[in-house]
Structure 1
Amino acid sequence: MTPDSSASDTAWLDLLDWRRQVGALYARVRELREHDPVAAHGLWQTERNRLFRDHAQSPLLPEARASFDALPVWPYDPALSFAAAIEPLPQERLTIPSSTGQDMPLVRFGRVTLPVGSLDVYWIDVYGGGVFVPFRDATSGTDSYGGGRYLLDTAKSADLGSTPAGDLVLDFNFAFHPSCFYDPRWSCPLAPPQNVLREPVRAGERAE
């Protein structure tokens, strides 16, 4: 997710601070989640609400902040938390659209198979990069954003880690909306057709 090119110098530094705080939050969440996933989920909600309410780089529009209380989130469901090995696939380069129409280059390098369906795993093929797992499901466009949600986005520090065996921790209870859901000035990659789950995933952030 990137802001428009007209951002001021201060805005860029504010964005740096946002990313630092998000990185620190996920470090705390990973540590707490090992022995108390529900408490980790509560911490995640509390801190995201604080950032959305108070931070200069909040994705919320100014008029939305005045009445903001908390981001809508489904209750924690342990049945939607998984650890999955990545099945290696032949690398495939592709370009997906962003919410503002810009192209986002990705490399599909693997796949995870979960009880709710299979999802391709991507590398965001720009400077710095990162592992990226977006998805859409049967709630998209009604109970959640039509462009999908993010399950893993290491470029933004949204990462729950791996098991000692090296499996990815993929917990849908921590799925979140991209910033463009709240403010169209943000440019966010949309979930590609390969990552559409047929069943509803009622976990993580939801629409009102």
Structure 2
Amino acid sequence: MKQSILIICLSFMSLSNCAQKKRPIKGETEFQRELNAEYKDASTSPLKDKDRKQFKGLDFFKFDSTYVVKAILKRTPNSEWFHMKTTTDRVSKERVYGVLHFELKGKKHQLNIYQGKDLMTKEGFEDYLFLPFLDETNGLESYGGGRYIDAKIPEGDTLIIDFNKAYNPYCAYNDKYSCPIVPRINYLKTRVEAGVMGFEKG
């Protein structure tokens, strides 16, 4: 009898430990949950081991639908390839795919959107576009080096920019990475209170 109770207790403790280890992934949107899951997983996380072990979730600005905007895309098919600087000696061969014109909270803005020469030859990234930007939260609530948004080549001349999906370069978490430096031309003279916030390294 005592042995049965012991086995039941041990089983219960084991289940409790599993339940504690398999805590639900934090995040109020699918994007936030996916990013947190990626950063928690040792095989995909850019975090240093010591930061990943105590990782509970990234800090995000609260989701705000006013930061989901429709932009007019003016393509620049004759733009030349150039070397975009990175945080290391490496350079990334990019070109301005087009210029996005949009309104954010009643004010007009524009951002260059880029296409990578090497990346466009990789399977699954043929239609990938790169939207890096700086704004007035950088160095305060958000990472000082600016943030990135992933996009795809649209069929028409409009593109939805969701600033709630803005994320930090890997360099914000670990200086072993080589990250493209946001071109100064992509500075937004406004506060973008959406997306991933800054990160305090352990």
Using the size of structure 1 for normalisation, the TM-score is 0.70
Farther off after superposition, 91-100 or 135-144: 91-100
In our comparison, the structure showing a higher alpha carbon Rg is: 2
- The 1:168–1:45 alpha-carbon spacing in structure 2 relative to 1, beyond 3 Å, is same
Calculate the aligned-residue CA RMSD, in Å.
2.2
Correspondence for 1:16? none
Correspondence for 1:113? 101
Alpha-carbon distance between aligned partners in 2 of 1:54 and 1:127, rounded to the nearest angstrom: 24
Aligned pairs for 1:29-178 within 5 A: 42-89=29-76, 90-116=78-104, 117-128=109-120, 130-152=128-150, 162=154, 167-178=158-169
Tell me which of the two structures has the higher relative contact order, counting C-alpha pairs closer than 8 angstroms and 6 or more residues apart: 1
Farther off after superposition, 192-201 or 139-148: 139-148
Alpha-carbon distance between aligned partners in 1 of 2:184 and 2:164, rounded to the nearest angstrom: 22
Alpha-carbon distance between aligned partners in 2 of 1:131 and 1:110, rounded to the nearest angstrom: 10
8 Å contact 2:72–2:102 — kept in the other structure? no
Letter in 1 for 2:49: P
- Greater helix share, structure number: 1
Farther off after superposition, 94-103 or 184-193: 94-103
What secondary structure is seen at the aligned counterpart in 1 of 2:115?
Answer: strand
What secondary structure is seen at the aligned counterpart in 2 of 1:64?
Answer: helix
Q: CA deviation at 1:87?
A: 0.8
In the TM superposition, what whole-angstrom CA distance separates every residue of 1:92-127 from its partner, at most 9, and x where no partner exists? 332221122321111113100121421001111225
* Structure 1, unpaired ranges of 5+: 1-39
Q: 1:195 aligns with which of 183, 186, 194?
A: 186
Q: CA deviation at 1:166?
A: 5.2
Using the size of structure 2 for normalisation, the TM-score is 0.72
8 Å contact 1:41–1:173 — kept in the other structure? no
Aligned pairs for 1:12-27 within 5 A: none
Give the number of equivalent residue pairs.
Answer: 162
What secondary structure is seen at the aligned counterpart in 1 of 2:94?
Answer: strand
* Structure 2, unpaired ranges of 5+: 1-26, 122-127
8 Å contact 1:41–1:174 — kept in the other structure? no
Alpha-carbon distance between aligned partners in 1 of 2:97 and 2:103, rounded to the nearest angstrom: 20
8 Å contact 1:100–1:184 — kept in the other structure? no
What secondary structure is seen at the aligned counterpart in 1 of 2:178?
Answer: coil
Q: CA deviation at 1:165?
A: 5.1
Structure 1 stretches of 4+ with a deviation exceeding 4 A read none
Alpha-carbon distance between aligned partners in 2 of 1:125 and 1:65, rounded to the nearest angstrom: 32
